[in-house]
Structure 1
């Protein structure tokens, strides 16, 4: 691409940052409504109408590549954090949408990129569903086609997603990725049970039994989904969403204490100060993780993974401590259902339950035991 082409894209990216900030200010000013069982369709519609979702797409498909490392994660981090502030449930689904774009960009064919872009431009949300239900999803060849069987559970946005990236086990017991339409309402099933938080994300299950796909629907090669550093490095995006909820809790703590005229109480000032330290600490960790994942092509894969793993655990620890601070600072009002602070605390506590935290911590530490800590982290 020519220098003028790069400059034009940078100008357009700047425009979209402005649109995002305007959208965020508009939604932030709206009064809280306790609709935790409803998918945040209006907010998703606002993102679509602003053109932000299209901007995530590949440059060759008319997007600005804002889901790719070429932006060094700056716009993407802002988008996910702002969305997490307004709705953790939508933030979770949007991060999945971005994950699909990233994986298709890395492993997909030109035809698959075009299919994804066409679907997204129609306003259809994509999802990544890799957790198997009972029975697990398998794929086997039948003549020139492949037949799927099994269920995907913990499928976020199951009623909204129209195209899903799923994993399936082959007859050779290898894991492959596929892009599959998921618009058949009859195949949608209830999820594992009613979660205490994140209910608006619409987590359910989807039955793929009997669906036939072609070899062209298989994304990449066997084992690509677990290939490092992408498999672990993408976790920084989920942490960015979580920080958005932390931002919201800090604001709610300050606003309620101001309304009660308790904000200058020395004990409350200590809590506010501690909350801001936790907020900034988590933010710096995510910035470091995004830098490693998106802007350091020379960094060894193991170091990228280790950095993102430690960032993920740092954000989790900070968020859990913040939840306790807010509950102590606001007392029983932080436990009243129907209030923003109570819902966000439940959503955040649920969202933070990402898989294998102990493994992420020990693997991250193991790398740095044998290597020097990066200079820019000192």
Structure 2
């Protein structure tokens, strides 16, 4: 948690790539065979960056068995760090329509494709596409069983890592906010002090939620549905706090917060893009439905 938070402070794009790398390590740990875990650990010792690319491009990635191996066709889009990642955990659909995870090499430059377009923020994450057509995968690179990627609670619980990275960006934004007010000689203004106080409350609130979510994700006695609901609430609490913080900083610093190229503008632009995670409404209503007739799982932590 501390590593992800600190990396998000330094650079959100770097934090995104590190979070993806850690996600791959976690999934191999959970679903890999002992031989796969040992082989993957050895690969990581060479210093490679792993990535997790699960969003399909056009056409989607399909996997078919062929002569004792597996052949892929299709493209993955929204591939973070497409020029830096050497090994990607991807999902592919088999002829029966089931999704399976696998580890695939991603070092061929001529397979790289343009991304979805120029994003408002997070441009340094190097998001692009990768064409896996005719890539041959040995059987021992298939990970787990069909449907494991979406298996709960891990599928939702892993969101705590992204929240930790976002929290790091909030830390940076608060520091830049305070620094600029001090440099302008405006920090003693009562209205600015009010906003600083509000910003600190949001920062600490997000930090407590991230810690709660991280503990829930690894709590051995907590029910899976408790884990999912807790992490979903944490994810949305951090998003809400971050967006409120951005509004406070913009109101306090005025037009200087919108000068492209300034550190404060860069952090806010990246953070607003980073926070756009899928299905926020569903995550909130599912968590609310669970806690409607279940108590908060304090004992599980």
TM-score band by shorter chain is over 0.9
Q: 2:221 aligns with which of 298, 302, 320?
A: 298
Distance 1:186 1:111 in 2: 31
Find the partner of 1:366 among 289, 294, 301: 289
2:160 is equivalent to residue 251 of structure 1:
no
Per the TM alignment, residue 208 of structure 1 is displaced from its structure 2 partner at its CA by: 0.2
CA offsets per residue over residues 334-376 of structure 1, 9 Å max, x none? 0001100001000000000000000110111111001112347
Higher RCO, 1 vs 2 (CA within 8 Å, ≥6 residues apart) = 2
Alignment of 1:176-187 (within 5 A): 176-187=100-111
- 2:162 is aligned with 1:238: yes
CA separation in 2, counterparts of 1:329 and 1:343?
Answer: 16
Contact 1:127 1:164 in 2 (8 A): yes
List alignment gaps of at least 5 residues for structure 2.
none
**What count of residue pairs does the alignment treat as equivalent?**
300
Give runs of aligned pairs for residues 212-361 of structure 1, distance below 5 A: 212-294=136-218, 296-361=219-284
What SS does structure 2 have at the residue aligned with 1:297?
coil
Contact 1:306 1:367 in 2 (8 A): yes
Q: SS where residue 72 of structure 2 aligns? A: strand
Equivalents in 1 of 2:153, 2:177: separation in Å? 37
Cα offset, 1:328, TM superposition: 0.6
Distance 1:110 1:374, change over 3 A: closer
- Contact 2:222–2:297 (CA under 8 A) maintained in structure 1: no
Checking the alignment, whether the CA contact within 8 Å between 2:115 and 2:129 is kept in structure 1 is yes
Give unpaired runs (5+ residues) of structure 1: 1-76
Whether the 8 Å CA contact 1:119–1:163 is kept in 2: the answer is no
**TM-score relative to the length of structure 2:** 0.98
Partner of 2:22: 98
Query: TM-score scaled by structure 1?
Result: 0.78
1:374–1:109 Cα change, 3 Å: closer
CA distance in 2, matches of 1:134, 1:375: 45
